[in-house]
Amino acid sequence: MSPISAMDSSSGEIRTDYLKLLVTQLQNQNPLEPMDNNQMATQLAQLSQLEQVENITGMFQKVLGSMQLGQASSLIGKSVTFKPEDAENPVTEWVQKVTLDNGQVVVHAGGHKVNLDEITSIGGAATGIPEREASALLGQSIKFVAPDEAVPRGGTVDAVTIQDGQALLQVDQYIIRPGDVQSVTGDTQTPRQKEAAELLGEQVAFNPPGQIGSRVGTVDTVRIDGSVVYLRSGDYEFTLGDLVETK
């Protein structure tokens, strides 16, 4: 018999095949030229070593998977930067959850499924979100500390507005600042929510409902009412379908 070589089979499959071959050779060996017992013993020892290596590898993979899952779970509520397959430039999104996909740890951020090795940088926790990132919270579920309260509560950001140059969030009946947000717990924004949120603070031309002719103004508020996303500029409220152009 030839020495045992590495194959794309498990040690159990190799042992089964080897024993079948061994029985067949024993049944058909020449009584005048019996098999070499030393060679048989060497190959059995090789099988035992292969099984030990496979067991160690399996244990290592389990430990590594557990470490990766713990590392990924620590990213929930933080921002990560990565480059999606369909994008030319890297993007930064908040991590909503972590799952196992066919044994591989996957990070869910901004509607993307990201492997750990695809993350190029990790930002801070969502606590004290900068005002420039406030619009990204539209439609998101968050945990926050309401004014004059000490215990955090949860809710969904229904509107984002700019007043006197400061970004404010409306969560149910509360008006809070981005710095009051402790963590982002919900799913990603819908495409229309994201499109509207990105216009906050931008100058646009729009056709006000019920009015003749277009107007030009700066978007100071974006809000959600059911499935509809509204934008406001001064006294006018309109939808994305009323936009003529962005300046």
Q: Cα–Cα distance between 200 and 233 in angstroms, integer?
A: 10
Say if 1 falls within a structural domain: no
Q: Cα–Cα distance between 191 and 149 in angstroms, integer?
A: 33
Q: Which two tokens stand for residue 69?
A: 């899952």
Residue 218 φ then ψ, to 5°: -100, 130
Say if 139 falls within a structural domain: yes
> pLDDT for 94-152, tens place per residue?
776 788 777 788 888 767 888 888 888 776 554 456 666 788 889 988 888 777 776 78
- pTM confidence score: 0.50
Does residue 78 share a domain with residue 66? no
Say if 52 falls within a structural domain: yes
User: Residue 197 is part of which domain span?
Assistant: 131-246
Does residue 117 share a domain with residue 172? no
Does residue 44 share a domain with residue 101? no
- In the chain, the number of structural domains is 3
Q: How many CB atoms lie within 10 A of CB 152?
A: 14
Say if 4 falls within a structural domain: no
Q: Cα–Cα distance between 159 and 225 in angstroms, integer?
A: 9
Say if 23 falls within a structural domain: yes
What average pLDDT does this structure show over 14-30? 65
Q: How many CB atoms lie within 10 A of CB 69?
A: 15
Q: Cα–Cα distance between 99 and 73 in angstroms, integer?
A: 9
Q: Cα–Cα distance between 72 and 211 in angstroms, integer?
A: 51
Does residue 103 share a domain with residue 56? no
Q: Which of 58, 92, 125 is the last residue before a domain boundary?
A: 125
Sequence-separated (6 or more) residues with CB below 8 Å from residue 205:
214, 215, 216, 243, 244, 245, 246, 247
**Are the C-beta atoms of 152 and 143 separated by less than 8 Å?**
yes
Q: Which of 27, 45, 70 is the last residue before a domain boundary?
A: 70
Does residue 233 share a domain with residue 163? yes
What average pLDDT does this structure show over 178-193? 80
Binned at pLDDT 50, 70 and 90, residue 7 comes out as: very low
Does residue 85 share a domain with residue 66? no
Place of tokens 């089979």: 9
Does residue 194 share a domain with residue 168? yes
Does residue 206 share a domain with residue 154? yes
Residue 81's domain is classified under what CATH number? Answer: 2.30.30
Does residue 165 share a domain with residue 143? yes
> pLDDT for 57-68, tens place per residue?
555 455 444 555
Q: Cα–Cα distance between 113 and 109 in angstroms, integer?
A: 7
pLDDT score at 21: 66
Q: What element of type H or E holds 49? A: helix 37-73
In the chain, the percentage of residues whose pLDDT exceeds 90 is 23
β-pair partners for 224: 229
Q: Cα–Cα distance between 203 and 53 in angstroms, integer?
A: 65
Relative orientation angle of helices 11-28 and 37-73, to the nearest 10 degrees: 170
> pLDDT for 66-93, tens place per residue?
555 667 777 776 778 888 887 788 877 7
DSSP-derived secondary structure for 125-152? ESTT--GGGGGGGTT-EEEE--TT--S-
Q: Cα–Cα distance between 74 and 204 in angstroms, integer?
A: 40
Does residue 108 share a domain with residue 189? no
Q: How many CB atoms lie within 10 A of CB 59?
A: 10
